[in-house]
């Protein structure tokens, strides 16, 4: 029998995070304030604690992981690397498919890798309460879990459509002691404003972020901060433990490098977490195809322009240089709730501009089909977001078969779908449809960006 599980001991856990900002051939464009000038770290201080702001702006290649954070992560890390041998056989592909299993964390996804780190740094800084947004509920439940273990209060604004579709995530947050409300809510000015104009809105991550930031910065005690589950540099940094573990595990089975690396991308953190250590290898000459995957309903990387835009609907965040569908974009209610963000992590976007990544979009039905194939071969039920990556994995494995090449495909199994069964139910009963964002619709949202500073596309032309 061939080896399926590749396991590391606790003593093998990576002790430093990897920061791609140190190695990008063209540096990131700076975040800008409302006046069009770069924001200074102290301008972010009402929103984030200074220890995380330092990581956000750091150009150091390696950043030590505090022992106390590792002590929490040991509950499920190092996470297994598994070989999808049964799927390989089913597809009859010569490719070897490996996946990093992030579904084994207590909340069931990659999200706690940064939730634990962020909660811990906030606690160190003397913060008592965190606010956040959540789409599918994965991030909200991860932060609720982390706050419980670290000893912080947690308030979660959950996008209305997911709040209704996924009640079990809200219950999980309750188990870990967090308070979760549907967004837009009547608790904030940002929420009330949206509700007045669109009482039946399904909500969006952009609106929920506005609400969470507003509650953090208006707490006059100064003991509340905001926490973001993706997009920002420090979030992607914390996730790199995934790719660093995967590298060690591939070496254990004699694989020097994967040929293809795949991850789904909502704000970019699980994709970046797995891929950035391999992007570093690619920058240094390795031949690796690296594919971030998104839904056709929210085609940020494959169709949206590279622009300066706000991270939220109420325009409270700094302007970030990223691919964006426009901060007022309200995505259609597809089931991959975590992939419905209008923007994308600036680090991922700069790597796209540089030509280091090959983004791809898939329809919802093809993703569910891939998920059903996976569940019928490997047995596990994937999260709808993870299923988007699976659609690309299956395509790449079929391509390897056509070419007769024994490629190594590595992907991030970012979460399980056991809390997302309503989506499967809708698929199995034929109630799901595909959706491709019409061009006119996209242009409508992009109009809002005309007055904002322009982002320069800088690249070396090497890739
Ligand atoms: C299981 C799962 N995978 C992927 C994502 C996408 O987020 P990100 O791009 O930040 O990894 C989410 C977001 O909620 C998720 O829940």
pLDDT tens digits along 270-298: 999 999 999 999 999 999 999 999 999 99
**Residue bearing the CA closest to ligand 1, atom 12:** 338
The CA distance from 381 to 284, in Å, is 36
Q: How far is the CA of 261 from the centre of ligand 1 (A)?
A: 16
Residues flanking ligand 1, CB < 6 Å: 109, 135-136, 138-139, 230, 264-271, 338-339, 383, 385-386, 414-415
pLDDT class of 333 with cuts at 50, 70, 90: confident
Q: How far is the CA of 386 from the centre of ligand 1 (A)?
A: 8
Q: Which residues contact 372 (CB under 8 A, 6 or more apart)?
A: 427
Residue with tokens 């433990």: 241
Q: Which domains does the chain have, with CATH numbers?
A: 5-13+63-108+233-449 (3.40.50.1100)
Rg for the chain (alpha carbons), in Å? 20
Q: How far is the CA of 283 from the centre of ligand 1 (A)?
A: 25
- Nearest by Cα to 113 from 237, 277, 291, 261: 237
pTM of the model: 0.97
pLDDT value of position 338: 77
Task: Indicate which atom in ligand 1 lies nearest the CA of residue 265.
Answer: 9
Q: How far is the CA of 111 from the centre of ligand 1 (A)?
A: 7
Does pLDDT of 184 surpass 80? yes
- The number of beta carbons lying within 10 Å of the beta carbon of residue 23 is 14
pLDDT tens digits along 301-329: 999 999 999 998 889 899 999 999 999 99
pLDDT tens digits along 186-230: 999 999 999 999 999 999 888 999 999 999 999 999 999 999 999
Task: Indicate which atom in ligand 1 lies nearest the CA of residue 103.
Answer: 1
Task: Indicate which atom in ligand 1 lies nearest the CA of residue 415.
Answer: 1
* CB 138, CB 412: distance < 8 Å: no
DSSP codes joined into one string, 10-23? GGGS--EEE-GGGT
Q: Which mutation among 141, 383, 387 tests ligand 1's pocket best, with the greatest number of atoms within 8 A of CB?
A: 383
Q: Which residues contact 209 (CB under 8 A, 6 or more apart)?
A: 133, 228, 311, 312, 313, 317
């Amino acid at each position: 029998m061939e080896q399926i599980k590749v396991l590391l001991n606790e003593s093998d856990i990576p002790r430093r995070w990897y920061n791609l900002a140190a190695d990008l051939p063209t540096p990131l464009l700076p975040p800008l304030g409302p006046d069009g000038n770069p924001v200074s770290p102290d301008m972010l201080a009402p929103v984030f604690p200074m220890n995380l702001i330092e990581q956000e702006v750091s150009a150091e290649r390696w950043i030590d992981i505090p022992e106390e954070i590792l002590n929490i992560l040991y509950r499920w890390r190092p996470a297994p690397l598994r070989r999808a041998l049964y799927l390989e056989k089913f597809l009859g592909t010569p490719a070897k498919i490996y996946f990093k299993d992030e579904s084994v964390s207590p909340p069931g996804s990659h999200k706690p890798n940064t939730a634990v780190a962020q909660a811990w740094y906030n606690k160190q800084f003397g913060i008592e309460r965190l606010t956040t947004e959540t789409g599918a509920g994965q991030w909200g439940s991860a932060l609720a879990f982390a706050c419980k273990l670290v000893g912080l209060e947690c308030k979660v604004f959950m996008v209305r459509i997911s709040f209704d579709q996924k009640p079990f995530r809200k219950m999980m947050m309750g188990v870990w002691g967090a308070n979760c409300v549907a967004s837009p809510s009547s608790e904030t000015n940002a929420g009330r404003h949206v509700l007045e104009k669109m009482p039946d809105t399904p909500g969006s991550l952009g609106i929920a972020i506005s609400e969470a930031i507003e509650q953090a910065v208006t707490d006059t005690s100064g003991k509340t901060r905001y926490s973001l589950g993706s997009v920002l540099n420090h979030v992607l940094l914390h996730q790199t433990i995934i790719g660093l573990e995967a590298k060690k595990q591939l070496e254990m089975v004699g694989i020097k490098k994967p040929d293809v690396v795949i991850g789904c991308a909502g704000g970019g953190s699980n994709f970046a977490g797995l891929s950035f250590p391999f992007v570093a290898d690619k920058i240094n000459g390795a031949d690796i195809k690296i594919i971030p995957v998104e839904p056709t309903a929210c085609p940020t990387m494959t169709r949206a322009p590279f622009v300066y835009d706000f991270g939220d609907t109420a325009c409270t965040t700094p302007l970030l240089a990223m691919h964006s569908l426009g901060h007022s974009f309200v995505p259609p209610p597809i089931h991959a709730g975590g992939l419905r963000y209008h923007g994308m992590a600036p680090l991922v976007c700069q790597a796209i501009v540089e030509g280091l990544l090959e983004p791809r979009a898939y329809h919802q039905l093809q993703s569910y089909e891939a998920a059903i194939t996976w569940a019928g071969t490997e047995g596990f039920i994937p999260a709808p977001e993870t299923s988007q990556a699976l659609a690309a994995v299956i395509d790449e494995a079929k391509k390897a078969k056509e070419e007769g090449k024994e490629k190594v495909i590595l992907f991030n199994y970012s979460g399980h779908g056991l809390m997302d069964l309503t989506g499967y139910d809708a698929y199995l009963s034929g109630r799901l449809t595909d959706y491709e964002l019409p061009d006119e619709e996209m242009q409508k949202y992009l109009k809002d960006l005309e007055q904002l500073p322009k982002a320069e596309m800088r690249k070396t032309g090497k890739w």
